[in-house]
Amino acid sequence: MQREKILVTGANGQIGKVLVAALKKLFGNDNIIATDLRADNTYEGIFELLDATDSNTLSKLIMQYQITQIYHLAAVLSAKGETDPTGSWHINMSSTLNVLEAGRIFKLSKVFIPSSIAVFGQSAPKEGVPQSFYPEPATVYGIAKVAGENWGAYYFNKYGLDVRSLRYPGVIGYQSAPGGGTTDYAVDIFHKAIKEKHYTCFLDKGTRLPMIYMDDAIRATLKLMEAPSDQISIRTAYNLQALSFSPEELASEIQQYIGDFSVDYAPDFRQGIANGWPASIDDSIARQDWNWKPAYGLQSLVKDMLDHLIESPQLA
């Protein structure tokens, strides 16, 4: 079997931090090369500075470490993207194309480039959006994700590059902080509940969105990447659904543990982004193709988040 050497972009990001740790467990510390724009001094392992829009440095690192796979997590998320549409388009698209080109040129064995529920817009049904529903995103982040999905399928069909992708819902975890997303409230709320017993939410109380617990998001990613190639019927990006809730539902579950926790609602421009997204998507093809099944629902997610954040105050 080929020994895999895996490069991760955006390794200091919300998903990157946790995924890198999971990949190290699976493939060994020396086989994971974490990269990001900035160094994280607390990180133990092989780390290289990389701006993923810089294809020369990316190629240099691939040759230096004899990389066989890339997980491309670096991206400007939905809310931040709206503050600089053309700049975000450039970062998200040029980095994606650099990774795909590197995959082709260096004949990488697999490439993972995540997509998002943000590919869907107002035209999509609110509940159970089918896998093949035509994506009409309203954010520059969503537009870049749709384009990235199609470029991934193009590299698979034209060059045989084994590109795989998931449409992640909002990801919630205690291990790391999100940044620049519309679903970030669902992580912030836990920290504020513990520290201040109060949270002002930037989305309105009834805004139901698709979400996933970090453990499930990592498990889905690794399951997808481990599946035999002939089981992958979707080469754009798989719909991935775990649970859906609104800020009010999340707050009320947190109140089961922190009775004096209160929330008020001050929707900002992110409400407009959230309004364009579905509340749930249909992931039956992921369930069929590679046995996807989430483990966490709202109650178990809230309990696990609070257990970890209260137990390890340095995380809160």
Taking CB under 6 A as the rule, does residue 221 contact ligand SER? no
Q: Is 55 exposed, middle or buried (0-12, 13-18, 19+ CB in 10 A)?
A: middle
Angle between helices 298-311 and 185-195 (to 10 degrees): 50
Q: Which residue is closest to ligand SER by CB?
A: 181
- Per DSSP, the three-state class of 34 is strand
Q: Given candidates 9, 68, 116, 176, which one binds ligand SER under the rule CB under 6 A? A: 116
Contact positions with ligand SER (CB under 6 A) in 161-180: 168, 170
Instruction: Closer to ligand SER by CB, 35 or 78: give it.
Output: 78
Which of 6, 70, 118, 240: binder of ligand SER (CB under 6 A)?
Answer: 118
Q: Is 183 in the site for ligand SER (CB under 6 A)?
A: yes
What is the 8-class DSSP label of residue 113? Answer: -
Q: Using the rule CB under 6 A, which residue among 9, 69, 78, 239 binds ligand SER?
A: 78
Based on CB atoms, which residue is closest to ligand SER, 24 or 219? Answer: 219
Whole-number minimum distance, CB 260 to ligand SER, in Å?
A: 29
Residue 276 interacts with ligand SER (CB under 6 A): yes or no: no
- Who contacts 2 (Cβ-Cβ below 8 Å, separation ≥6)? 68, 109
Query: Residue 200 region, left (φ>0) first, then alpha (ψ -120 to 50), else beta?
Result: beta
Residues 199, 250: Cα–Cα separation, whole Å: 12
Q: How far apart are CA 5 and CA 92, in angstroms?
A: 24
Question: 141, 174, 185, 238: which is the annotated catalytic residue?
Answer: 141
CB of 278 to ligand SER, least distance (A): 12
How close are the terminal C-alpha atoms of the chain, in Å? 42
Rounded CA-CA distance 46/236 in Å is 31
Q: Does 181 bind ligand SER (CB under 6 A)?
A: yes
154 as an active site residue: the answer is no
In the bound state with ligand SER, the residue whose beta carbon lies nearer, of 61 and 211, is 211
Query: Residue 115: helix, strand or coil by DSSP?
Result: strand
Least CB distance from residue 61 to ligand SER, whole Å? 26
Figure out which of the listed residues 32, 77, 161, 224 binds ligand SER, where binding follows CB under 6 A: 77
Which residues are marked as active site? 141
Contact set with ligand SER (CB under 6 A)? 77-78, 116, 118, 141, 168, 170, 181-183
